[in-house]
Structure 1
């Protein structure tokens, strides 16, 4: 296969041991998948000697960067010039810890999602550029100047990158400073709050409003592409991913990575494993979505509910995105939305249907914070109410319930709960 970003993202973790996925163009370049992670590697035999070099985890280095690095190492191996790199020792004096080393320590000691790690690397590589600077030598003036310069490029990235620097500074300070050997310095990032102030970022508001929701929904139902002609597991994959997201408000990576083993037709429930908040999310699906899943199950060919569409199902990889379908639908109805906009629409519909706030949080899988909301820790929501809520949301899209008609919403809600 071609080891590009989309194909690498679709490679599953190994159930046991390790599995190697080799690039079709660059011989010796591959991805090694284990039960816990995926890494780019070089594996090449030359002059009777086997070379194995780990280039980096797939969530820490881009496919393009890994390919370029592999080409360089393979050339060195072919010319007999490659020498195994010697790993550097960690700084013995905490005051000598660099920003890059601090980030490595922070990531290594915490259980971050791959997407979070990629974002942290992006902040430092693209915006700060201080990986080799000693963390405790960075001054307040330098931080303020950097914040202002990055703000001209992206206000949100300025907030994120400089805030992360402040978090690293505090983390390393607490980790290494002691009563016997205190680090007598103050966090330079504190200067932002008392001078310029953090950039104010307006929250996105785009969603399927009442004037477009049914037009868009009907366009999705009638969406066609070349895969529909196959009548295989890949048929209607993009359409069904979008419908699944509209009906459940889930995140793109959750629906794309759904396995058949996590769909329970007896209880009409779906399980998302290891979600953004670190927990598994079990929830019921509405009747229409359940029918869609049953139809797809009859055509299943591998482990994934939504298999990758650009390669044979025998590769056992899942779909990763539906950008082209969203573009086609946007052109058709004259209104463009992203996958996350469906999540915003879902929450809006929940509010218009007057769902209890704890029902909405439960359906969106938003974590209850006991210290902030003690009551939320006591509230237990029956699966029957969640099921009725999901059917009501489907009914809104189908035009059976007018959630924008505020006078009839409560009567419809009571009717659905009793029917459920």
Structure 2
């Protein structure tokens, strides 16, 4: 019979469910449950494919005429070879994808990218400060104007470097979202951060070029080897560990995190090498010991052994490596009158290695800069090739600190060690 609202109302519940087909709309029927609930059902076959059954609504919430219209739409789709279920799932997926917020997309970004914990923390801090107001905003609703306005606001109130870094991170997250598609339909077809490039917005960050000159290196070594060591009542508050850490960065050129995360199992006093694991460029970094590096590590071993730690620079409380010694660095700067950052010491290493005649390629390897050269893979086997770089820097620094007579004694292998001690 033709299903109408009146006829459906007359249908009575029975002990078992039953169905009544509609003669006006092929595939449509009404199912009556023992409870009295009445549901519209559509049965059909996809052209050249499988059968499908859909519950499209309940009566009287859905009228008979509306049910016939929905049934005709579904049957037409199946006759065209379309699967209404797949179409619905695809539509829902597109809707869900289009409602993804910046926070949700960032979470997915982190789950896929293999980022170091420090990088993750840095990214999270940036999003929670610069993009706090956008976290719950659908990512496809971030406009080019939004980007331009917030970049300018961030630059003017937080600084150029912060703005450049923040929008570099945002661009990476949006590029990640651009790769998503449902059935060939992409959530995003452009990255709104590109507007900064197209408008030629200045995104240059002045590179720091600070390094310690000869006088400053002399002051730092004088403080470490004389004033700090022999002062009877020190008031500077600089610890042995804090000083050893700073001097290792100065004499190795290693990144601050590479030094902080050293383990004693990666220090070989016999072969006179140390190995930094899990470095920024993903490779192990082998560093030969100069005399000063060896002496500092031997000194630090005594400090570390007091805690029985596996870490070269253990944290003060609990197990694990220490974090960046900001308070110790501040005390060293105050005691010496030299204002510097830890990364300035890495730059100092490179600068004085260059001035001493070391080639650019060797300095690159000594600093563990990433390079596409296949020769990088042979650095472990050619560790002795790197040793002169670190010895050269040691001698260059020593010449700034020692008088001519002591420096000549340093060049004598038999007398070199007692100069340090």
TM-score category of the 2 structures, normalised to the smaller one: 0.5 to 0.7
Which position in structure 2 is the counterpart of 1:28? none
Which residue of 218, 221, 238 maps to 1:217?
Answer: 221
Q: CA RMSD in A?
A: 3.2
Which residue of 206, 227, 252 maps to 2:256?
Answer: 252
Q: Unpaired segments of 5 or more residues in structure 1?
A: 1-89, 403-414
Distance 2:273 2:135 in 1: 46
Offset of residue 178 of structure 1:
6.1
Distance 2:378 2:334 in 1: 46
Distance 2:326 2:390 in 1: 26
The answer to whether the Cα contact below 8 Å between 1:221 and 1:239 also exists between their aligned partners in 2 is no
What SS does the corresponding residue of 2:186 show, helix, strand or coil? coil
* 1:67-113 Cα shifts (integer Å, max 9, x gaps): xxxxxxxxxxxxxxxxxxxxxxx996321211111111111101101
Decide whether aligned partners of structure 1 residues 369 and 178 sit closer, same or farther in structure 2, where only a CA change above 3 A counts: farther
Decide whether aligned partners of structure 1 residues 183 and 293 sit closer, same or farther in structure 2, where only a CA change above 3 A counts: closer
Distance 2:245 2:252 in 1: 11
Which residue of 102, 107, 111 maps to 2:110?
Answer: 107
More helix by share: 2
Distance 2:242 2:160 in 1: 33
Distance 2:239 2:219 in 1: 23
List structure 1 runs of 4+ shifted beyond 4 angstroms: 374-381
Which residue of 362, 368, 371 maps to 1:359?
Answer: 362
Which position in structure 2 is the counterpart of 1:168? 173
TM-score normalised per structure 2: 0.65
What SS does the corresponding residue of 1:218 show, helix, strand or coil? helix
Which position in structure 1 is the counterpart of 2:243? 239
Distance 1:138 1:284 in 2: 50
Decide whether aligned partners of structure 1 residues 145 and 397 sit closer, same or farther in structure 2, where only a CA change above 3 A counts: same
Question: Is residue 2:391 matched to residue 1:391?
Answer: yes
What SS does the corresponding residue of 1:116 show, helix, strand or coil? helix
Distance 1:266 1:163 in 2: 45
What SS does the corresponding residue of 2:399 show, helix, strand or coil? coil
The answer to whether the Cα contact below 8 Å between 1:358 and 1:379 also exists between their aligned partners in 2 is no
Distance 1:385 1:272 in 2: 18
Distance 1:375 1:383 in 2: 12
Aligned pairs for 1:301-312 within 5 A: 301-309=308-316, 311=317
* 1:304-360 Cα shifts (integer Å, max 9, x gaps): 222334x4xxx4343323333333332333221111110010111121122122211
Decide whether aligned partners of structure 1 residues 184 and 283 sit closer, same or farther in structure 2, where only a CA change above 3 A counts: closer
Aligned pairs for 1:7-406 within 5 A: 93-129=96-132, 130-153=134-157, 154-174=159-179, 176-177=180-181, 180-183=184-187, 185-222=189-226, 224=228, 236-298=240-302, 300=305, 301-309=308-316, 311=317, 315-370=318-373, 382-399=382-399
Distance 1:141 1:194 in 2: 12
What SS does the corresponding residue of 1:398 show, helix, strand or coil? helix
Distance 2:378 2:183 in 1: 41
Distance 1:92 1:275 in 2: 41
TM-score normalised per structure 1: 0.65
Distance 2:95 2:226 in 1: 63
Decide whether aligned partners of structure 1 residues 380 and 353 sit closer, same or farther in structure 2, where only a CA change above 3 A counts: farther
Q: Which protein has the larger Cα radius of gyration, Structure 1 or Structure 2?
A: 2
The answer to whether the Cα contact below 8 Å between 1:268 and 1:290 also exists between their aligned partners in 2 is yes
What SS does the corresponding residue of 1:283 show, helix, strand or coil? strand
Offset of residue 208 of structure 1:
0.4
